[in-house]
Amino acid sequence: MTSLTIYTSPAGERQVRTWCRDRLGSWAPRHRTHTLETGSGATTVVTAGQGPGVLLLPGTNFCAATLLEVADALVPDHQVIMAGQIGFLRPSPEVPVIWGG
């Protein structure tokens, strides 16, 4: 079974993942990052803030690291939950993708 991916090379995948990890790591608001298993594979989930919850789902080929400006605007009054798998992976074309990240 071949995994589908947006990455054109292993080096490109490492570069994008490093950028995302560094960007999330330097994000100023206090936040937590953890991994959640889904039907489409492992997904990184980032949470920050307190208050009514807001779920940010990045579109295809995006991730939580690309939503930080939006999250910054919401964090003062909301709990922000960002589901942001880095890349677009699924085990086969038969597995539905609910969101892209």
Phi, psi of 11 (to 5 degrees): -65, -40
> 53, 81 in Cβ contact below 8 A?
yes
pTM: predicted TM-score of the whole model, two decimal places: 0.71
- In this model, does residue 12 exceed pLDDT 50? yes
Mean pLDDT of the chain: 78
Residue 93 — very low, low, confident or very high, per pLDDT cuts 50/70/90?
very low
Residue 62 — very low, low, confident or very high, per pLDDT cuts 50/70/90?
confident
Q: How far apart are CA 82 and CA 98, in angstroms?
A: 14
Residue 4 — very low, low, confident or very high, per pLDDT cuts 50/70/90?
low
> 94, 80 in Cβ contact below 8 A?
no
